[in-house]
Amino acid sequence: MNLLLFLFAELGVWAAGLGVAALLLPARPVSRVEWMGLALVLGSGGISLALFALSWAVQGGALVAVVAVASGALGMFGIARWRKVRPVALPGGAWFAAVLAALLLVVGWQAGNHPLAADGLFNFEIRAQLAALHGGRVPPAFFSDPARVWMHPNYPLFLPLNQAWIYLCLGGPNQGWAQLLSVHFAAGAACLLFSGVARLTGDAWRGGLAVGMLFLMPAAMNSPGGAISLWADFPLAVIFLGAVIYLVEFEAAGSGLGVFAVLLGLLPWVKREGLVLAGVLVMALLWITWRRGKIRQFPAAIAPLAIVVLGWKIFLGLVHVSADRDFLPVSLSVAFGHADRLPFVVTALARELFAWQRWCLLWPLTLVAVIRIARDPALARWRLIAPVVGSLLALYSGIYIFSAWPSLALHVVTSLPRLLLPVAMPALLAVAAAVPRWGTDKVTK
Amino acid sequence: MKLCVACWWLALTAFAVCGLLVWTRYFAPMSPAFQDPDAALDALARTRFGLEHGAATVRRELDGFAPEAPLLVFGRGDDWTLTEAHFLISYLAWPHPVWCVGMGELPPGQKAPYDFPPPPGLHPAALFFYKVNLPPGMPVRQLSPELAMHDNRP
């Protein structure tokens, strides 16, 4: 019975995402894999935002019914558009689907064998549990409880409300089934990566290579913060991956801005760090729109981001959120006063980039790929990845200047590897795009 | 050019080998525990407290307490597992405010790194003792080898 209810919950997410994707799809042939990836990612965003907004008006079974009907309506719209547009088949798409099914089976199996822990349990799943026990709404008392400041009450609710949706459909909290959301996000990442790389390079094998690297990279799968652990880091990385893919497409072909804008808006809804990722992408978009003479599109593209950021800030004010103790107030005096931390942080970052147990050889390969992309005019569309990755590495190093933890080393060791996970997504894109074709002198299309 | 291509694919092969090595160490072949509603909480209670069905046990112990009654966890302030013990009890005790006091000898002026002390004047309704010696003569319920509880209500 629980399996059927879980599938009903997943169907609701997928249907909502199908409809939202249908509204945003660029005016070009769209593959089934791309549509599927967008449905999974946008559906998660849609369901979490719908629960957050509607749970103040209706709760419990009524909330589930309202959200299910809305998802169903979006799904019908998506299917109608699907029939009209007729998605194209990607070369190698059938192989991709078969291999992905096997990989997801392993991810799901291992997710069931590695229970939620640490941040996944105490920062995210507890909100889902509380929401499910209070009819779908995280009780306002949670956000202002001084005894639970360590649960980071100002963290946004994307992942917890996706888990809460499963709990509401199941009729109560169930951590075993919630763990299967790992499969959902892993599938979303794989579909976006395969379709994005195949579309933008013209080579399906590069898409397969990127997906293979994703599933083999421990930081993305089985390290803390990876897909299986079900912390918010992996969903954040998936949405950032999608945003970067559509930004590259916008720069190369002028399409995909609508999808980019919505994914950009979702970033700070997944995790606070999403604001840093979004900030870097906003700067990149500003540069691209200015260079292409399309600066008028810029305000509309960042509108969803502004709405989410302001909306969440207003909400936190209304519930009198308890102050976070992780970081000192950002000011020049604090920055200069703690500048002596930088050598330690930079050393830790360098050590982390070479930690093969988490990243395999991703970062050295990224460096080579970035050089290749800079030198080869055929790879020009990927050139924005280097500044995006570089500025994020610099920003994430600099953020520890403001750490309020008694032990800076502990703060760095426990968070830096996870901060790098979203940054690894454009790095994967760069490697997949730059790797030379085997057995021929032709480098890339 | 061919050497360059070979180096790329060699590096990608090394990437795959590194990934597979970590996967083989991580892979757990047993059956998944999808049916346990408290799978994560029970697993952590087993690891930290040596307590089977820990989620249900702790919830049951707190059943008779007023929801707003504060609770206090005692443990060794230099033991990082105190953090998880405190977090776990706090999770299970919602909506009780749960605070944590680190004990043990620390250099003068140094704060225990793994505690979360209450504001002054707190009167806890229950005390939990995690991996510390119990105060002599205090009546406690030993919930597991690592966890004891004292009902502090008047």
Residue A18, phi then psi, degrees to nearest 5: -60, -45
Tell me the mean pLDDT in the region A34-50. 97
Whether residue B109 has pLDDT greater than 80: no
pLDDT band, residue A445 (cuts 50/70/90): very low
Q: Does A290 touch chain B (CB under 8 A)?
A: no
At A157-209, the pLDDT tens digits run 999 999 999 999 999 999 999 999 999 999 999 999 999 999 999 999 999 99
Report the C-alpha gap between B40 and A114 in whole angstroms: 8
Tell me the mean pLDDT in the region A388-404. 95
CA A164 to chain centre: 18
At A290-300, the pLDDT tens digits run 999 999 999 99
pLDDT band, residue A438 (cuts 50/70/90): confident
Whether residue A285 has pLDDT greater than 70: yes
Whether residue A399 has pLDDT greater than 60: yes
CB-based contact A147 B90, cutoff 8 Å: yes
Give the nearest partner residue to A115 out of B31, B40, B87, using CB atoms: B40
- Which residues in chain A have their CB less than 8 angstroms from residue B28's CB? 110, 113-114
Identify from A216, A222, A228 which residue to disrupt to test chain B contact, counting B C-beta atoms within 10 A and taking the largest count. A216
- Which residues in chain B have their CB less than 8 angstroms from residue A145's CB? 95, 97
Give the nearest partner residue to A125 out of B35, B40, B70, using CB atoms: B40
- Which residues in chain B have their CB less than 8 angstroms from residue A356's CB? 18
> With b meaning 16 or more CB within 10 Å and e meaning fewer, what string describes B68-84?
ebbbbbbbbbbbeebbb
CB-based contact A357 B35, cutoff 8 Å: no
- Which residues in chain A have their CB less than 8 angstroms from residue B111's CB? 406
Whether residue A27 has pLDDT greater than 90: no
Tally: H helices and E strands in chain A: 22, 0
**Contact call for residues A13 and A184 (beta carbons, < 8 A):** yes
**Contact call for residues A134 and A168 (beta carbons, < 8 A):** no
Instruction: Supply the pLDDT for residue A148.
Output: 93
Identify from B13, B87, B96, B110 which residue to disrupt to test chain A contact, counting A C-beta atoms within 10 A and taking the largest count. B87
Whether residue A12 has pLDDT greater than 80: yes
Instruction: Supply the pLDDT for residue B110.
Output: 77
Provide the percentage of residues in chain A whose pLDDT is more than 70: 98
CB-based contact B91 A114, cutoff 8 Å: no
At A57-92, the pLDDT tens digits run 999 999 999 999 999 999 999 999 988 888 888 889
Tell me the mean pLDDT in the region A414-422. 96
Write down the domain spans for chain A: 2-434
Give the global pTM.
0.95
Asked which of B25-34, B58-67, B77-86, B114-123 is least confident by mean pLDDT, the reply is: B25-34
**Contact call for residues A169 and A128 (beta carbons, < 8 A):** no
User: What residue in B sits closest to A2 (Cα-Cα)?
Assistant: B35
Instruction: Supply the pLDDT for residue A443.
Output: 45
Report the C-alpha gap between A369 and A284 in whole angstroms: 20
Name the minimum distance, in Å, from the CA of B134 to any CA of chain A.
Answer: 24
Tell me the mean pLDDT in the region A30-42. 96
User: What residue in A sits closest to B26 (Cα-Cα)?
Assistant: A222
- C-alpha distance from residue A218 to each of A212, A234, A253, A389 (Å): 12, 12, 34, 19
Report the C-alpha gap between B92 and B7 in whole angstroms: 54
Report the C-alpha gap between A424 and A419 in whole angstroms: 9
Instruction: Supply the pLDDT for residue A306.
Output: 98
Sheet arrangement for strand B71-76: B98-103, B71-76, B126-130, B147-151, B141-144
Whether residue A385 has pLDDT greater than 90: yes
At B11-54, the pLDDT tens digits run 999 999 999 999 999 998 888 878 889 999 999 999 999 999 99
